[in-house]
Amino acid sequence: MEHGQQEQVIKAVQYREVGSDPVVVDVPEPEAGAGQVVLDVLAAGLCHSDIAVMGWPAEQVPFALPLTLGHEGVGRVAQLGDGVEGVAVGDVVAVYGPWGCGRCRTCAQGQEQICERAAAEGIRPPGLGRDGALAERLLVDDARHLVPLDGLDPVEAAPLTDAGLTPYHAVKTALPRLTPGSTAVVIGVGGLGHVAVQILKALTSARVVALDVDEDSLDLARTVGADEVLRSDEKAAAKIREMTDGRGAQGVFDFVGAPPTVQLAHDAAGTGADVAVVGIGGGALPVEFGRIAYDAAVRAPYWGSRSELVEVLDLARAGAISLHVERYGIDEAPAAYARLHEGKVRGRAVVVPG
């Protein structure tokens, strides 16, 4: 900073101390160093994972606080560091969140979310270890993380970077099992789940059965195209067996991941099913020969690849998926997190800082 110049500040939503609620504070405006890009944030989504992270005890938090939250972001390019090519000031872009080293085997495949070196090199996603998108401005490490929005609405597009990308990756992995005549089960029709239903309808001819404990979420599931909706309770697996003539489901996507839902996922899985435990609700799913269906595969997928984000944005542009969003100003972000914590958000809560 030059002598006499006032330090510029921006508003940011921060998690400042273990166990405390998020707060809106002024922080110094980020500056783009060599190779970096600064965005004016247009929209940032609130993910239930943020609630989980803010519930971890101190010894489990793998990064320093305070932290600016927000790992789903869309912005307009405001400043380019030295040497940045391929984007221009004014471009509107979505941010690919699970940054990797960009050079290892998996990063070379575009699968930066499972970078082999990120942990060793201390590379973390914005909002999950690096300052995130719940702020007026966001610093992005490299232009390769930016995907042009090309006409998508920024508020609907922000959740596509996680609430869209994560179920897209899970469904794409399961596609070989989701043949005509198959059944796909979606457990938890929240931010991720309501997009999962639409991705399944767009990419497969599977019958989609959606489950939730909340009536409004079941209504949302119907609105976005679920063929059947069920209350998520101890009778649900038997009902799924009944509606599939005893076969069970070929794809089960659990966006809760709590003990009762992984049990439901286990019991609903038919022969050769692909079971994806996406939610981080602390449920463990035992894989025991003779108990889980023959040839069932259980996965714990994480986020998605760079090329999959490009595909998700294409799918949205084609009109095959649309996000149901609740909009909030940046000062309302702590209240929006409280609503998410209480299970009151339908679809995705998105903060519009401007």
The two structure tokens encoding residue 152 = 């998508």
Contacts to ligand NAD by CB under 6 A: 47-49, 52, 162, 166, 187-193, 211-214, 217, 232, 255-258, 260-261, 278-281, 301-303, 340, 343, 345
Taking the C-alpha atoms of residue 165 and residue 184, their distance in angstroms, rounded to an integer, is 18
**Interacting partner of 200 out of ligand NAD, Zn ion, none (Cβ under 5 to 8 A depending on kind):** none
The two structure tokens encoding residue 160 = 């596509």
**Interacting partner of 261 out of ligand NAD, Zn ion, none (Cβ under 5 to 8 A depending on kind):** ligand NAD
Could you say which of 107, 160, 218, 277 contacts Zn ion (CB under 5 A)? 107
**Residue 104 in contact with Zn ion, rule: CB under 5 A:** yes
**Interacting partner of 104 out of Zn ion, ligand NAD, none (Cβ under 5 to 8 A depending on kind):** Zn ion
Q: Are 312 and 152 in contact (CB under 8 A)?
A: no
- Side-chain-side CA neighbours of 117 within 13 Å: the count stands at 10
Q: Which is nearer to Zn ion, 115 or 275 (CB)?
A: 115
**Residue 49 in contact with Zn ion, rule: CB under 5 A:** yes
Shortest Å, Cβ 308 to ligand NAD = 12
Shortest Å, Cβ 85 to ligand NAD = 31
Return all residues near 29 (Cβ < 8 A) that are at least 6 apart: 7, 8, 9, 10, 137
Q: Are 227 and 208 in contact (CB under 8 A)?
A: yes
**DSSP element (H, E) containing 271:** strand 269-277
Shortest Å, Cβ 76 to ligand NAD = 25
**Interacting partner of 52 out of Zn ion, ligand NAD, none (Cβ under 5 to 8 A depending on kind):** ligand NAD
Q: Which is nearer to Zn ion, 68 or 183 (CB)?
A: 68
Could you say which of 51, 101, 243, 280 contacts Zn ion (CB under 5 A)? 101
Cα–chain center distance at 116: 21
How many degrees, rounded to 5, is the angle at CA 282 between CA 281 and CA 287? 115
Taking the C-alpha atoms of residue 338 and residue 336, their distance in angstroms, rounded to an integer, is 5
**Residue numbers at the binding site for Zn ion (CB under 5 A):** 47, 49, 100-101, 104, 107, 115, 117, 162
